[in-house]
Amino acid sequence: TSPAGWDCSGFVQWIYRQAAGINIPRTTWTQWAALTPIDASQAEPGDLVFFDGSDGPIGHVGLYLGDGLMIDAPHTGAVTRVEPVWLPYRGFRRV
């Protein structure tokens, strides 16, 4: 959970702390529970988009960039990258 290596929730936590000075919870589950739900039609850059994981609901999170794109740390061994929001997603949350 540092620039030397990210998981998805650690990445978005670090971005918010560094870019906005805002502390958000550490894990996808705690981020999902703590942040404000919004409809996908209201999503703006900086909102978080959540996905189910292979081990159950709320297993992945990305930082929404707008225009259907997000930046995320997609899986072990992958680089942090910009990519389209995956379908299906669980929902969006606002910090």
8 is catalytic: yes
Find the catalytic residue in 8, 47, 55, 75.
Answer: 8
CB 17 within 8 A of CB 9: no
Find the catalytic residue in 47, 55, 72, 75.
Answer: 72
60 is catalytic: yes
Find the catalytic residue in 39, 52, 60, 75.
Answer: 60
67 is catalytic: no
| Active centre residues (catalytic) | 8, 60, 72
